[in-house]
Structure 1
């Protein structure tokens, strides 16, 4: 059939009506507006204290104590950070926190990876019961083990040392649990193909499991890092000199040194403590979101 043979369009034919799309009702718009208002309220509750902390670190004492409060500082006092650095040995505090957090996180993450891989891919008797026992250990409050850990570390001669700060926290049941639950979702066909090609367990872990589990590994590493960075009770118990104190203990030391309650310097020291963790979080947030949402959809 050619173009001349095609039937001509009817001159009086009207186009087919488009399907009617119902407009968004007033109730739906009200619910959406209420959801936005709720999100704004949650953001204010979560970000309000952080904003007050950062702005107060740049205020003078009269501005901090004034009522009604000054939400925007009129005079930026950058010398608060220098006062905090001079009042306490923050150089030692930063070094100790960095060593304890980084070394402890690396060792704890490695142990959690190996344990999780063993629970998922290695057959051994009593595996399920042992995992349930480890889950039960998560229910025990950490303060219950403070005295046994201190007695053990004291007998080893590790009081007031980096080893004493790091060793008691090397076992991570929480990290093992998260990594095991993620490894259970990995495709078994890939592991079987690797075994057929002659790959051993270490090669499977480093070449297959780790690249496929990168978001979850980074999420666990950040959780462990923040926990160690903010730990207060154990460093306070196991250290006895200012040279071995960590940053949370350093803030207490700074508070004791500021006889006249220079809250500008104290809050400036607090900002110096939380900024490294915030920077790490913002750099790794896309991996954290991916790690927490993996398995939510197919």
Structure 2
């Protein structure tokens, strides 16, 4: 059968599923990703690979991997792979859609709540011995109930975010490539242009894929349109935000804070100025990190590999 390389230890039963299908499986055992030269060597010896979104697969790597038939990305996004370049070399690219929307929206809303109510900052202060008395002015935050949420990108995750906002009776405005009348009726949200969304929202949550039109879409101009009390939540991709502009906006009090599950680069070096702001929350790209969701993502990726190596069409094709 086939030789399968998996670039990280994964949860669930996907490895066993692949082996039961008759494939030889090698799993990269280290916590970090395989270095580029190692990844290239493993791909050269593989018929299939299960990759993570941080595994950059270059055209030159594909040139030295004549056996490779499929790259099963264990993610919805696939900006780490050029599907067109892979297709030129006869390599199928697949992803794992439709499984992580609710889990990612849970995390996005958790970040929103934590930033609004100073959960992280107050926890740090308490652990450092700062809790000496109750104070009527200590860690005053923002109300979420009844506030305005701006959703940038009303796809599956954006819709899941809007659904959560209903329980807090939030006013939801959104912008997207196309209007979503059914979602508007279901969630009571309103389509606006991005400038109006930024100006109106108490919380702005980003849910767009990374591509040429979204790279750097939140820059200095967009940040200046936001309320000085507004909080930016990003669980999409770090490159969607101009990080230098965000740092300047936080330094100058242009916005009220940020909650980031994604950064540019990842991991974010400890000397980065974003770590110095008490009104910024940074988590290590864990929006889809529930055991059930990650295991399901791995199973979907394995199913795509099994299909392609059996000469069938992939279940979740990208190219």
Class of the TM-score when normalised by the shorter of the 2 chains: under 0.3
The structure whose residues are more often helix, as a share, is: 1
User: Could you say which structure has the larger radius of gyration?
Assistant: 1
Q: How does the TM-score come out when normalised to structure 1?
A: 0.26
Q: Which has the higher contact order (CA 8 A, sep 6+)?
A: 1
Q: How does the TM-score come out when normalised to structure 2?
A: 0.25
